[in-house]
Structure 1
């Protein structure tokens, strides 16, 4: 007889997972919108999420940020050889250790109590998570540079900006920065009713498949700062954006940069430029504008 709360198998060999509502009841908690806690309770969505990992992804050590009451953790344990969950709520971290005690004892599950923005992250092979929306950007950009496959739940508006193409209204700093690290795709929209309590916004699952960019970047930090600077002036031409943002980029000689850039590019606006064009501009800006201050590089 299967213990309460444990995974059993149907006659066909398919696993039967813990019921998300039962997990919430056993944990003795309620989701709290004020604390950015929205528990994913739709079994169909939960079942699909691990399947969005890219084909051939290494699932030997999966990372989950924000384990909550363990509904997604339950599924990840059938996909990954080992799972590490980072959970900032002490009550939920303790519950996960109790609920999945056998997996913890077997060394298949490690529950890390702490803030995902500050705790040391393990050397994971892929990350699958329903992120806290209030810090989703910060967490995403802690994960993306690691060069691992990611399947992450975001606010839908954020996800749409993440995957946006040049020339669209949604395209911006987030699009360029995310696409610098990976091919990003919105793989499933998720309605508020899939959560408890329902958030005030629609959600979406994004898959990020890491790859090297098609362009060279010598100074990644400067490149990302340069992109940020250009989009603070997105209604301005690139010419004026470079002139107006030296306090962000640290460019000492904006005119030397402008003299080295094609006139057609200078007349365009940030929202029309592909990531490769930002990389080329940043390279010129670093060489001509950040030298010894005389513009000679």
Structure 2
């Protein structure tokens, strides 16, 4: 009898109601090629195989092979990739939708890896607290770096909260289904690496003003505190900038973060005082 491995974060979705909810939310057609991360006992995989043209499943645990073999006996549109999802080159797979009960310990890195690769639609299961941060709006207690990093690249929608009883073994926390659709034309991020470093810097001090946060975490952008102070004196003279950087970090909208990051990136490249 298979025993779920705690070190791999294995909590298998067993409630068919939430399996069906995930599949319905993805609006699957026979033209869709789906990526699933984590095979589990194949309950979700089977539903995906019924509705989609093809299903890729990335699974790290070879001891689940008996479940995979049983599925492949009944469906010829399933391909299992025995590997760590964080190590797989997703560009070699031609999927357009992602539906998965993600291992929670890789929620953040796998989400951004998927966003970087691109897809039409994703329906993903997350830890409830993580999901709340993904969809949070400015000015709320859950709003943070994750909220802005995701929402600047994708539209995220909370589908439903999922109780521990929907899984085996039962986790100690609630989960949630989230729908993600990329919004590439909504915000134009000048430089992705700088933007992520900018967010890391300011959200280390979410209750301070943007100005103070940038000074206190100036090393994230490669500057000393004194250098950043001088930079911000000149930078704040620009139109719209002065008032924005005096706001508290958690009160700025996603669009304002993209605007500030872009403006600061351009400014630093034109006026490098280092």
TM-score (norm 1): 0.83
CA distance in 2, matches of 1:290, 1:58: 49
What does residue 61 of structure 1 align with? 33
1:56 and 1:259, CA in 2 relative to 1: closer, same or farther beyond 3 A? farther
Two-structure CA RMSD over aligned residues (Å): 2.0
What does residue 110 of structure 2 align with? 139
Q: Does structure 2 retain, via aligned residues, the 8 Å contact 1:217–1:283?
A: yes
1:251 and 1:59, CA in 2 relative to 1: closer, same or farther beyond 3 A? farther
CA distance in 2, matches of 1:208, 1:251: 35
Q: Does structure 1 retain, via aligned residues, the 8 Å contact 2:152–2:258?
A: no
Where does the alignment leave 5 or more consecutive residues of structure 1 unmatched?
1-27
Bigger shift: residues 76-85 or 32-41: 32-41
Q: Does structure 2 retain, via aligned residues, the 8 Å contact 1:215–1:279?
A: yes
CA distance in 2, matches of 1:188, 1:77: 23
| 1:255-274 deviations in Å (ceiling 9; x for gaps) | 22442233321221111111
Is structure 2 residue 249 aligned with structure 1 residue 270? yes
CA distance in 1, matches of 2:28, 2:100: 19
Aligned pairs for 1:2-17 within 5 A: none
Aligned pairs for 1:172-187 within 5 A: 172-187=144-159
Where does the alignment leave 5 or more consecutive residues of structure 2 unmatched?
none
What does residue 15 of structure 2 align with? 42
Is structure 2 residue 208 aligned with structure 1 residue 236? yes
Q: Does structure 2 retain, via aligned residues, the 8 Å contact 1:66–1:86?
A: yes
Give the secondary structure class of the aligned counterpart of 1:248. Answer: helix
| 1:125-173 deviations in Å (ceiling 9; x for gaps) | 0000000011111111111223311100000000000000000000000
CA distance in 2, matches of 1:270, 1:58: 45
Is structure 2 residue 254 aligned with structure 1 residue 279? no
Give the secondary structure class of the aligned counterpart of 1:268. Answer: coil
TM-score (norm 2): 0.90
Bigger shift: residues 223-232 or 257-266: 257-266
Q: Does structure 1 retain, via aligned residues, the 8 Å contact 2:9–2:103?
A: yes
State the 1:243 CA deviation: 1.3
Q: Does structure 2 retain, via aligned residues, the 8 Å contact 1:239–1:258?
A: no
State the 1:292 CA deviation: 6.5
1:47 and 1:83, CA in 2 relative to 1: closer, same or farther beyond 3 A? same
| 1:233-277 deviations in Å (ceiling 9; x for gaps) | 112211111112221122574222442233321221111111111
Aligned pairs for 1:156-175 within 5 A: 156-175=128-147
Bigger shift: residues 158-167 or 279-288: 279-288
Bigger shift: residues 251-260 or 122-131: 251-260
What does residue 88 of structure 2 align with? 119
Match of 2:231 among 231, 245, 256: 256
| 1:12-48 deviations in Å (ceiling 9; x for gaps) | xxxxxxxxxxxxxxxx312233431101111111121
What does residue 294 of structure 1 align with? 273
CA distance in 1, matches of 2:131, 2:87: 23
State the 1:216 CA deviation: 2.2
Q: Which runs of 4+ in 1 moved over 4 A?
A: 55-59
State the 1:294 CA deviation: 2.4
CA distance in 1, matches of 2:257, 2:141: 18
Q: Does structure 2 retain, via aligned residues, the 8 Å contact 1:250–1:290?
A: no
Q: Does structure 1 retain, via aligned residues, the 8 Å contact 2:33–2:52?
A: yes
